[in-house]
């Protein structure tokens, strides 16, 4: 029986149509994936179903829920429906919780307000729900404020609040996009187990999640529903060219070419790098501990790990953006020391960085031509403005943007365009080392592919060495030569790409790889391979820091931290690796 029916839904803002004539049905208890790139109208559709379209939106068409036409409901009836029969989980759980209220109180409010229970009963209902979503130590968490919880825990609380009234439909809008893969796997597991008979409308850009968790899928392109059907059928034979594009743009961790190791001379070497931050008071937080790495000419070295593993601190210290507590960086035979301002001018020309958030890394007050031309204005002062403009034009062409972008400001660019501008700016001085800090994480699949192949092309032409920080192992597999795995600031495994993905030696690496959803419905998703979350860096576990989450842990792990040792061409820090 159909639960939710959309008939010819269209949403317009002024002249532009963001959702165009979309019709679909969600039946009771089924799970449906709504996929598409950013700007395809996924979230707009969800907001329209909830009656939460932003001001200025003109919504037309019919939305029926359990036979009732939602457009005829009063505000009050709609509120009631939203609370009791439709649950919602958004992407960013920190935005959806009131920072000034204990989470238990926020949940209890939902329970009492809608008359599900009162007094002590309400409290018990909330406790039970928190326990169900896997919050440890519910008594204490009931009184916790949102900022005291990790992102994953907050998302669990959001799930609890969405499901506490036992709704018939749960709408989840990119519920795991802000989380680490390991935590994502936990949340998706949880979604499966506690959903019971609630229908699920899962909005995502990640086909891996759809393949593993949705019975049917709907594909949106620029506001139009272009493809719909059973997940297995669509993956086997897409009904529309766009579905095919999405599928081929989704990187797979379980197959495809990998790049062979590069043998060349070392360009950049880091020895025993340690970065610690002074926390309020006397404690020190060690973000990076004794990390070694070497980067060869023309090589792509990937650095992976969950958030808090010290990936970004490591490269910031290498580049001189944050001070290194101890250790040294050697670049082309010279030691780089101190903050970037005090380093040899050559560094600024030859070591460059591309950030995760392209818009944030571009000065909002400068035009593209000034942004891309600034490195020239600093380092090649002899150029006339005409020559400089020519070089800027070339640099933009290299990244696939034409001259019409010269006059634009960053806010007038899409995410993909802005990232290409940032790359053009980093490449215009023809650097020897490029550090990409989650440089493609914010981009849609097809744009991501373009950017990655651009980087690869530049590398082949110029011998650029790339340090590629990413949490996305499927991407890492497709572009890197070697991979460095970090956990809580420590190196746990260093291996050639092929060796790492074919035979991961460290249990942490294995878990990371298993947690990545595979965009193929025939591959059943394994249960979340890693439970719990990264412990606080202020209070690391004794012995091997990974032991509390490790399946192999024994007494020796609780007592002694393992050294990094050679093992079949890789280096691994684990007592039990063989």
Binding region for another protein (CB under 8 A): 319, 321, 340-341, 345, 347-349, 351-353, 355, 357, 360-367, 374-375, 378-379, 409, 411, 422, 425, 429
User: For residues 264 and 360, which CB has a smaller minimum distance to another protein in the complex?
Assistant: 360
User: CB of 314: closest distance to another protein in angstroms?
Assistant: 15
Q: What is the largest CA-CA distance in the chain?
A: 77
Neighbour count for residue 565 (Cβ, 10 Å) = 12
- In angstroms, the CA 553 to CA 534 distance is 16
**Which tokens is 19 given?**
């959702």
What are the φ and ψ backbone dihedral angles of 137, each rounded to 5 degrees?
Answer: 55, 60
What the block records as the tokens of 274 is: 């340690």
Measured from the CB atom, the residue of 353 and 467 that comes closer to another protein is 353
Q: Closer to another protein by CB, 351 or 499: give it.
A: 351
CB 356 → another protein: shortest distance, Å? Answer: 8
Q: In what order do the strands lie in the sheet with 169-173?
A: 86-89, 169-173, 199-204, 31-35, 216-221, 224-230
Q: Least distance (Å) from another protein to the CB of residue 515?
A: 28
Least Å distance, CB 378 to another protein, is 5
CB of 270 to another protein, least distance (A): 17
DSSP state of 51: T
Least Cβ distance, residue 236 to another protein (angstroms):
43
Q: Which is nearer to another protein, 366 or 567 (CB)?
A: 366
CB within 8 A of 23, min separation 6: which ones? Answer: 6, 7, 8, 9, 61, 225
Cα separation, 424 vs 61, in Å, equals 44
Q: In sequence order, which residues have a C-beta less than 8 Å from that of residue 6 and are 6 or more positions away?
A: 22, 23, 24, 25, 45, 49, 61, 62, 63
The residue among 351 and 479 lying less far from another protein, judged by its C-beta, is 351
Residue 246 and residue 219 in contact, taking contact as beta carbons nearer than 8 Å: yes
Non-local CB neighbours of 514 within 8 Å, separated by 6+ positions: 185, 526, 529
Question: SS3 for 540?
Answer: coil
Shortest distance (Å) from residue 363 CB to another protein: 4
The nearer residue to another protein, 368 or 572, going by C-beta atoms, is 368
Q: Classify the phi-psi angles of 515: left when phi > 0, otherwise alpha if psi is within -120 to 50, otherwise beta.
A: alpha
231 or 307: CB nearest another protein: 307
Where b means 16+ CB within 10 Å and e means fewer, 175-194 reads bbebbbbbbbbbbbbbbeeb
Are 291 and 488 within 8 A, CB to CB? no
CB of 120 or CB of 411, closer to another protein: 411
d(CA 420, CA 401): 8
Cα(374)–Cα(354) distance, integer angstroms: 15
Q: How far is the CB of 15 from another protein (least distance, A)?
A: 14
Cα–Cα nearest to 36, from 240, 196, 326, 215: 240
CB-based contacts of 370: which residues, under 8 Å, 6+ apart? none
Half-sphere exposure of 215 (CA within 13 A, CB side): 10
User: Cα dist. 100→90, 136, 139, 321 in Å?
Assistant: 19, 21, 19, 34
Q: Which is nearer to another protein, 313 or 352 (CB)?
A: 352
CB of 355 to another protein, least distance (A): 5
Instruction: Name the minimum Å distance from CB 320 to another protein.
Output: 8
- CB closer to another protein, 5 vs 374: 374
Shortest distance, CB of residue 381 to another protein, whole angstroms? 12
Give the integer Cα–Cα distance in Å for 67 and 168: 13
The smaller minimum CB distance to another protein, of residues 12 and 379, is found at 379
Helix, strand, coil distribution of the chain in percent, nearest 5: 40, 25, 40
Work out how close the CB of 451 gets to another protein at its nearest, in angstroms, rounded to a whole number. Answer: 17
| Distance of closest approach, residue 234 Cβ to another protein, in angstroms | 39
Considering beta carbons, is residue 84 or 391 the nearer one to another protein? Answer: 391
Compare residues 236 and 321 and give the one whose CB is closer to another protein: 321
CB of 454 to another protein, least distance (A): 19
Q: Select 76 or 345, whichever has its Cβ closest to another protein.
A: 345
């Amino acid at each position: 029986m159909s639960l939710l029916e959309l008939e010819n839904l269209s949403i317009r803002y002024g002249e532009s149509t963001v959702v165009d004539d979309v019709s679909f049905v969600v039946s009771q208890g089924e799970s449906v994936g709504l996929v598409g790139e950013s700007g395809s109208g996924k979230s707009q559709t969800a907001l329209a179903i909830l009656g939460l379209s932003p001001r200025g939106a003109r919504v037309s068409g019919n939305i029926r829920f359990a036979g009732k036409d939602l457009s005829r409901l009063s505000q009050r009836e709609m509120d009631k429906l939203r609370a009791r029969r439709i649950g919602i989980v958004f992407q960013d759980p920190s935005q959806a919780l009131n920072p000034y209220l204990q989470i238990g109180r926020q949940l209890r409010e939902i329970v009492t307000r809608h008359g599900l229970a009162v007094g002590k009963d309400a409290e018990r209902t909330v406790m039970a729900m928190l326990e169900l979503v896997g919050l440890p130590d519910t008594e204490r968490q009931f009184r916790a404020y949102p900022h005291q919880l990790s992102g994953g825990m907050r998302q669990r609380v959001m799930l609890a609040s969405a499901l506490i009234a036992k709704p018939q439909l749960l709408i989840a809008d990119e519920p795991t996009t802000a989380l680490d893969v390991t935590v994502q796997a936990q949340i998706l597991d949880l979604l499966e187990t506690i959903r019971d008979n609630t229908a699920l409308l899962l909005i995502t850009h990640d086909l891996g999640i759809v393949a593993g968790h949705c019975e049917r899928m709907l594909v949106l392109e620029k506001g139009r529903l272009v493809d719909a059907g059973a997940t297995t059928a669509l993956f086997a034979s897409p009904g529309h060219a766009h579905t095919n594009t999405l599928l081929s743009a989704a990187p797979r961790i379980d197959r495809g070419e990998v790049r062979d190791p590069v043998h060349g001379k070392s360009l950049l070497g880091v020895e025993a790098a340690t970065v610690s931050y002074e926390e309020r008071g006397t404690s020190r937080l060690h973000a990076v501990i004794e990390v070694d790495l070497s980067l060869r000419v023309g090589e792509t070295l990937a650095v992976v790990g969950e958030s808090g593993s010290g990936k970004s601190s490591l490269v910031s210290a290498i580049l001189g953006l944050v001070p290194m507590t101890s250790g040294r960086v050697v670049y082309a035979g010279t030691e780089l020391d101190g903050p970037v301002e005090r380093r040899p001018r050559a560094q600024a020309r030859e070591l460059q960085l591309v950030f995760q958030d392209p818009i944030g890394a571009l000065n909002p007050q400068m035009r593209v031509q000034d942004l891309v031309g600034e490195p020239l204005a600093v380092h090649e002062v002899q150029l006339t403005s005409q020559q400089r403009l020519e070089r800027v034009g070339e640099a933009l062409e290299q990244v696939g943007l034409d001259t019409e972008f010269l006059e634009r400001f960053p806010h007038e660019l899409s995410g993909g365009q802005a990232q290409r501008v940032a790359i053009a700016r980093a490449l215009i001085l023809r650097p020897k080392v490029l550090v990409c800090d989650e440089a493609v994480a914010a981009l849609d699949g097809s744009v991501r592919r373009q950017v990655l192949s651009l980087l690869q092309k530049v590398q082949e032409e110029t011998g650029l060495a790339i340090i590629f920080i990413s949490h996305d192992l499927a991407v890492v597999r497709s572009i890197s030569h070697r991979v460095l795995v970090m956990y809580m600031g420590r190196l746990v495994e260093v291996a050639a790409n092929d060796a790492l993905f074919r035979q991961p030696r460290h249990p942490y690496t294995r878990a990371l790889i298993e947690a990545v959803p595979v965009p193929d419905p025939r591959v059943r998703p394994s249960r979340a391979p890693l439970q719990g979350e990264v412990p606080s860096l202020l209070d690391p576990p004794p012995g091997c820091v990974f032991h509390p989450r490790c399946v192999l842990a024994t007494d020796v792990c609780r007592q002694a931290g393992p050294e990094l040792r050679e093992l079949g061409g890789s280096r691994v820090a684990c007592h039990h690796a063989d």
